[in-house]
Every structure is written in C-alpha cells, then in structure tokens.
Amino acid sequence: MRDLRGVVLAGGSGSRLYPLTKTTNKHLLPVGSKPMVYYPIESLVSAGILDILVVTGVHHFGALVAQLGSGAEFGCRFTYKVQDRAGGIAEALGLAEDFAHGGRVAVVLGDNVFDAPLRPHLDRWHESGKGAMILLARVPDPQRFGVPRFDGERIVEVVEKPPEPPSPFAVTGVYFYDSAIYDIIRTLRPSTRGELEISEVNTRYIARGQMHWAELGGRWTDAGTMESYARAQALGTRL
C-alpha cells in the first residue's frame, strides 16, 4: 500500500442540513461521540493508508484544519487543498494529482459512516488487476444516489439519481482509482448541474472494462440529508 494515498472529500455547502450548517462545515457536525469527518479518516488509517489529502471549501477551511491538525492525533499525515467552488466530486478529486504524484488513490466522501474494514476490499482490487473499484451498499432509497445497472455480475452503467432505479444498490462514497483517473477528469465536461460528475468517471472505467465492484458489507450510511444524518447518528453511537 506504499504507493496508495488517501483522499477525503469534505467540501460542499451542506445546504440539505441547514440550519445545522449555518456556521460550520457539515463534516464537523457530531456523529456519535466525534465529528463526522473522523469516520472516513479512521477507515483509511485502519487500512494502512497514512498519507491523506483533505479537500474542503473556502468558507470553513480554517475550522477544518483547526479540528484535524497535522494528522498526528490519527497516526497519519494530512495535506489540505481548497476547492474554490462547488464543481463536483470529480473536480475535487482532480486536486489530488500532485499530492498522489499521479498515482493511485483511495477516496472516501467525508459524510460516509460505515463499519466494514477497507483493507480486504483494497486487496481484492489489487488482485483484480482493474483500474478502478467502487463499493456498493443495498439501500431502501437508491434513487438518491448513483445506481449501478447490471448485466449478470457485470456493471454496465452507473445512473445518477434515477427515478426508477435499475438495482437496489447505491454507489457509496468509497472509490479506488489508478493513475488513469486524472486523464479522465481532464476530459470531462460539466453536467447540467455545472459540475464534473463522479458517475461519469465511473462510466468511463466501465466502458474500458476496467471497473471492479464489491458490496461494502456491514452497516453504511451517508449523512447528506436530515434523515440520513439521523441514521448516521444512530450508527455512530454503536461504533
């Protein structure tokens, strides 16, 4: 894992959690006994990934750095970068190229709370020889997420927030990518939302036959809405 670096994406306005986010970054909101962003960081560190880039927005950069510090508290080393505008997950991930020296990255969205270990999935990704891997979770409301469409056991497409989901799975905010990720991001064009979409990145890997997948296992939730934040709170109290 020496050539693999971690990325935690902790930007965004958190508008769906307003007014909780009126004065703070949503990733600093408490989940159980600690800030939300601690969970993805601890998951990466437990997998042996000790160089971690934290990407956040302009407005709460200082608060996030003050909370996390150098990484010594977690036994890792943090680098910080600012995403100047809400340009999407893929745009934020593009900021990792220099940090990762153009190499592989394990990416976790900062509002993901889960209890399954990442190391077994990283090992399976390495064994697969594929350029990318996404982790899935079976959810009751897949229409809120990117949803995989399957042909047998093979993912053929990821559909973003479909009104009629083609499967009961959500693409969680856990992604592993090889060095091709940066060239892919450079060729993306903004979606109708004005953002570079991570679903398009995954679709490019699928088209190349370079996508591996697995079910994350255990318990997982995002914390992007009031309802899912409540689920994260319930999960966080048990972790």
The per-residue pLDDT for range 214-227, each reduced to its tens digit, is: 999 999 999 888 98
What pLDDT score does 152 carry?
93
Residues paired with residue 56 on neighbouring β-strands, in sequence order: 82
pLDDT digits (tens, 9 = 90+) for 52-70: 999 998 888 999 999 999 9
Is 10 in contact with 27 (CB distance < 8 Å)?
A: yes
Nearest to 9 by CA among 70, 75, 94, 66: 94
Is 168 in contact with 144 (CB distance < 8 Å)?
A: no
As for how many domains the chain has, the answer is 1
State the CATH number of the domain containing residue 171. 3.90.550.10
pLDDT digits (tens, 9 = 90+) for 25-48: 899 999 999 999 999 999 999 999
What is the rounded distance in angstroms from the CA atom of residue 76 to the CA atom of residue 45?
7
Please say if the pLDDT value at position 192 is more than 90: no
Please say if the pLDDT value at position 13 is more than 70: no
* Domain membership of residue 188 as a residue range: 5-236
Nearest to 148 by CA among 43, 139, 88: 139
